[in-house]
Amino acid sequence: MMTDVAEQSGSVTQSRPEGDSDPQVAASAAPARPVDARTGTEDAAAAERIVAIRERIDEIDRTLIELWQERAGLSQQVGATRMASGGTRLVLSREREILERFRRELGADGTQLALLLLRAGRGPL
């Protein structure tokens, strides 16, 4: 028996010689709507919803980036002001306070995020 296999969009279809029918192959032979590469779905309503949600995600990302940059600049100003007045480069109790706040609110990922924020403002240790 000869079998051709073709893969398209993650699904496998097989063609068999005439008269050698397979119910699963016959069921999958029905024309399928193309999967939207941007959304990963063939359902138009779901794709539209995904696009709308992603637009909001993109807005949030832009805001996060702006806030990240603002926070880093403010933190650098604090450090420069402190050092210019004869203070220390770091205040470890403040860093622990920030780490604890993020850990409490966001869990282990929050700790990692806080570490990145701290490094953005003060540079690597």
pLDDT of residue 32: 67
In this structure, what DSSP letter does residue 34 have? P
pTM of the model: 0.67
Tell me the domains of the chain and their CATH numbers: 44-122 (1.20.59.10)
pLDDT of residue 31: 57
pLDDT of residue 20: 53
Q: If the chain, 125 residues long, is cut into consecutive pieces of 10 residues, what is the mean pLDDT of each piece?
A: 42 47 53 82 95 98 98 96 95 97 98 97 87
What is the SS3 assignment for 81? helix
Angle between the N-to-C axes of helices 108-122 and 92-106, in degrees from 0 to 180, rounded to the nearest 10: 140
pLDDT of residue 33: 74
97-104, long-range: CB < 8 A, 24+ apart: none
